[in-house]
Amino acid sequence: MMDMLLSSLAVLTRKIGVALVQLVLIATLVFSIMYVMPGDPVMMLLGAESDPSPEAVAAMRAKLGLDQPVAVQYASWMTGLLHGDFGRSVTDGYPVADYIAENLPLTLELAAAAVVVAMAIGIPLGIVAALRRGTVVDSLLTSFSTIGISLPVYILGAMLILLFALKLDWLPSSGYMNFSRNPPEHFRRLLLPALTLGFGLSASITRMTRSSVLDILDRDFVRTLRAKGMRERRIIGRHVLRNAAIPIVTIVGLQLGNLMGGTVLVEAMFNWPGLSTLLVEAVSTRNYPVVQGVILTIAGLYIFINLAVELVYLLLDPRIRRRRV
């Protein structure tokens, strides 16, 4: 027990260290985008075919800081990052950090909504599959989750738009509504993209919940609870589920990274003004500082989420949690 606690603490410390190293590496990689991309970014920005004047090229070069030695550029890029300075957008000169601050919450909201939807679908279905093990219901749910895992978001999204927006006309097909202006409409517009994004995760959760619940149902203490005369509903809802939660949290945690990747397509499909939309826009306008800032933010999020999952483990299981004296 103590060994476990100590080793889990050691693991955690190591993970934090690894996360920091990863962040530095990613920042370095992102910095080098400017140099590994084919062609001169300045010429690409100004448009080589328009034959820009040497003064304009020099001005752009100075604006991007490209006239300095590489080492100096790297140092100022890193110190900037430490101060939350991601540089300025090439097109309008606004700080990249402002763009990110504006778009990041929307992406986070979408991802969070997707997780909520996924758990709301996956956990009940998983429990039902476990309790109806070996029946038609179980096989149906298992096939559903296989389909769910293998269905790409763009196909699912298109199908959902077709069904709910075009055929049934229940929900808007795309767009965003500011919460403060019209709260119900905000959530109506959130629903389809969240469902599209969370569907695959819900399938994974269904599976994990099923096997985890089956495992717990076999434990001796469940027999004790029944022998106490506890209602089956309460045994499942309170005791089995809480014990089964750890593998489910693992799945959600591992899949969150993939979820962030999925936002690129989903945001584009539903015209959701999040980070990914910003990224796509910046790529097409060759707005390098914005591209760099967004990539760095997404990577940082990914690392942070994985770290957070480790922490949740410690909280969930009293056997790992600090011993009460």
For tokens 């959701």, name the residue.
Answer: 272
Interacting residues with another protein between 300 and 319 (CB under 8 A):
317-319
Q: DSSP secondary structure string, 98-164? A: HHHHHHHHHHHHHHHHHHHHHHHHHHHHHHHHHHTTTSHHHHHHHHHHHHHHHS-HHHHHHHHIIII
- Least distance (Å) between residue 224 CB and another protein: 5
Q: Which amino acid is residue 26, in one-letter code?
A: I
- Toward another protein, which CB reaches closer, 181 or 228? 228
226 binds another protein (CB under 8 A): yes
Which residues make Cβ contacts (< 8 Å) with residue 188, sequence separation at least 6?
171, 172, 177
**Phi and psi of 91, rounded to 5°?**
-75, -40
- Least distance (Å) between residue 252 CB and another protein: 18
2 binds another protein (CB under 8 A): yes
- Toward another protein, which CB reaches closer, 167 or 323? 323
User: What whole-number distance in Å separates Cα of residue 111 and Cα of residue 217?
Assistant: 32
**Phi and psi of 224, rounded to 5°?**
-60, -45
Question: Binding-site residue total for another protein (CB under 8 A)?
Answer: 27
Interacting residues with another protein between 229 and 258 (CB under 8 A):
229-231, 239, 242-243
- Toward another protein, which CB reaches closer, 97 or 217? 217
- Least distance (Å) between residue 308 CB and another protein: 19
- Least distance (Å) between residue 5 CB and another protein: 8
User: What whole-number distance in Å separates Cα of residue 31 and Cα of residue 78?
Assistant: 9
- Toward another protein, which CB reaches closer, 123 or 256? 123
> Max alpha carbon distance in the chain (Å)?
87
Interacting residues with another protein between 203 and 222 (CB under 8 A):
219-221
User: What whole-number distance in Å separates Cα of residue 258 and Cα of residue 267?
Assistant: 14
Binding mask 260-299 for another protein (x = CB under 8 A): ----------------------------------------
Give residues in contact with another protein (CB under 8 A): 1-2, 5-6, 9, 219-221, 223-231, 239, 242-243, 317-319, 322-325
